Structure 1
Amino acid sequence: MAVSKATDLGKALCIITGASKGFGRSLAKEISGLLQPESVLVLVARSGNKLSELQTELDSLVAGKHLVIRCVIADLGLREGVEQVMKSVRELTAVDIDHLLLFNNAASLGDVSRYAQSFENMEEVDSYLSFNVSSALCLTAGVLNAFPRRQGLRRFVVNISSLCAVKPFPSWVLYCTGKAARDMMFRVLAEEDPDLRVLSYAPGPLDTDMQLQARSSSADSNLRQIFTVLHSEGQLLTCEQSISKLLKVLLEDEFSSGAHIDYYDL
């Protein structure tokens, strides 16, 4: 007999970092429709104004659904920012949920106007890695410790990855390094805890501010040309297109934990 597929993400605590714009903002709007009443959506970003705008949009989208929406203004490049998010998460440990979903989406492109041999300043590199790598590990550890394994709780950890995790892009040394490190981090997590459902999802080339930075600032002329052509020929993906495939993967729940899945693999 065929097993029926899930049509929603249950009564959940859903945490999205980098929620104020781009992929994270669109993810918050799309996923709100898949959460059961009394679920909690925690939105994390540095911009309080943009989070407030998003909350207003969501209040309209889910009116009458009784979702709890919490906005946390935090700079994840700083220890204090990670601690602020964890404080908000720990306040929710008594919430009755059957799904925990953590989307590690917050990331930055870094300085792509230079090549690897120009990065002699350790403080600059450390600052990039703190925001893009260290915070993802520490936040994930904190969330999982706040919501440990228990009967009836499905826990999902999603790392928003990139083709750059597996393919080197000239002049993108920081971004490629950060994405590769994060992929391995979550592969290790999946090996250590078979109870978790861990996914690294590469969303494809998205029509976002980061893509604008890529085609205007990349030191490598070939990359600039590639991204310019993708943009001019309308080949960039909308966030909604990519998120639709991500949510399909999560709802079907048939992926190998720790896997790296690209939009174009599906």
Structure 2
Amino acid sequence: MKKNIVTNVTPNRADLGRALCIITGASRGFGRTLASETCRLVKPGSALVVVARSEDDLRTLQTKLHGSESGRSGVAVQCVVADLSEVEALGRIVKACKEAFSEAMDHILLVNNAGSLGNVSRYVRSFTNKAEVDSYLSCNVSSCLCLTASILQAFPQCPGRRRTVVNISSLCALQPFSSWVLYCTGKAARDMMFRVLAEEEPDLRVLSYAPGPLNTDMLMEARTKTADPSIKKSFVDMFAHGQVLTCEESCAKLMKLLLEDTYTSGAHIDIYDV
């Protein structure tokens, strides 16, 4: 895959700055690892707003990040319990971000990580229930667009402040996987969404990052529920042969991209291209 790299952006930052960081789907898996690593790489005076549906998991994460062994001192962590498919969730997230924000912050970082696999036990011809499809797209596409737009409106461009938007993408945004119509459609739509955003907002740094096959609950679901036998076997074999990645391995590559800051805004970059 061709790398999307430019050389006219100042590379190799030491940290993410004094930042307001918003991470969705932060209670477990890749999102939880992202929260831990982001907290470690921001300057004191930063704030981390973590969003997920599980309050217990978020509180556990908050305690961990506030512990002496994790993160940097002086980083506030605020939890927002929210289902992104619900309209009122966006307002609660934006309110929490405004409360956590300080004028001393020089970086706004939004990581759109929340997402679901959808029903992979069926083929395209079985999806005749419009409400079912609408529900998936609302949770995985519409909510992502509306949250991103809400954060950009709440924190407009101003001199001396960087704004970065990350979309956690997938190879499925580029390649079709039989019996994965919902997931592939959602990921492709999100990639295009952020390509358009990069065109419209040249001051933004926009990145779609495909983290690779991660050892998470989603991979277990893929191994056990995928209808297409060849796709299912590929995931089973990948797991059996130790070819899946840890969340920590993939997160390190994403942080490398963000710190080097030399990618073309709007690019889709796969972990194996970093």
Residue 255 of structure 1: aligned partner: 263
RMSD: 1.2
| Equivalence map 1:175-254=2 (5 Å) | 175-254=183-262
Question: For residues 89-238 of structure 1, what are the structure 2 equivalents within 5 Å?
Answer: 89-238=97-246
Distance 1:63 1:167 in 2: 37
SS of corresponding position for 1:15: strand
Hey, what does 1:88 align to over in structure 2?
96
Between the aligned partners of 1:63 and 1:88, the Cα distance in structure 2 is 20
Letter in 1 for 2:217: D
Provide the C-alpha distance between the structure 2 equivalents of 1:40 and 1:84, rounded to a whole number of angstroms: 16
- 1:26 maps to 2:44: no
2:123, 2:180 within 8 Å by CA — same for their partners in 1?
A: yes
| Deviations 1:43-102, CA, capped at 9 Å, x for gaps | 000000000111111111347611110000000011112222122123345442101100
1:10 and 2:20 correspond: no
1:55 aligned residue: 62
Question: What is the aligned partner in structure 2 of residue 46 from structure 1?
Answer: 53
Q: Give every structure 1 segment of 4 or more consecutive aligned residues whose post-TM-superposition deviation is greater than 4 Å.
A: none
- For the 8 Å contact 1:15–1:41, the answer to whether it is kept is yes
- The secondary structure found in structure 2 opposite 1:184 is helix
SS in 2 for 1:234: coil
Task: Look up the equivalent residue of 2:182 and give its one-letter code.
Answer: L
Give unpaired runs (5+ residues) of structure 1. Answer: none
AA matched with 1:30: E
C-alpha offsets along residues 114-152 of structure 1, whole Å, 9 cap, x if unaligned?
A: 001101111111110011000110000010111101000
2-structure distance, mates of 1:24, 1:97: 22
Distance (Å, rounded) in 2 between the aligned partners of 1:16 and 1:85: 10
Count, aligned residues? 264
Query: Structure 2, unaligned stretches of length 5 or more?
Result: 1-9
TM-score, normalised relative to structure 1: 0.97
Over the matched positions of the two proteins, sequence identity in percent amounts to 59
Which of 13-22 and 95-104 deviates more?
95-104
Residue 156 of structure 1 aligns to a residue whose secondary structure is strand
Whichever residue aligns with residue 160 of structure 1, its letter is: I
TM-score (norm 2): 0.94
Amino acid at match of 1:23: F
Range that drifts further, 145-154 or 80-89 = 80-89
Q: Report the secondary structure of 1:33's partner residue.
A: helix
Q: Distance in 2 between matches of 1:127 and 1:15?
A: 24
Whichever residue aligns with residue 173 of structure 1, its letter is V
Counterpart-to-counterpart distance in 2, 1:137 and 1:107: 13
- Note if contact 1:161-1:183 (Cα within 8 Å) is conserved in structure 2: yes
Distance in 1 of aligned mates of 2:207 and 2:71: 30
Show the counterpart of 1:68.
76
Q: Offset of 1:214 from its aligned partner?
A: 0.2
SS of equivalent to 1:176: helix
Contact 1:75-1:82 within 8 A present in 2 as well: no
Relative to 1, partners in 2 of residues 1:99 and 1:169: Cα closer, same or farther, differing over 3 Å?
same
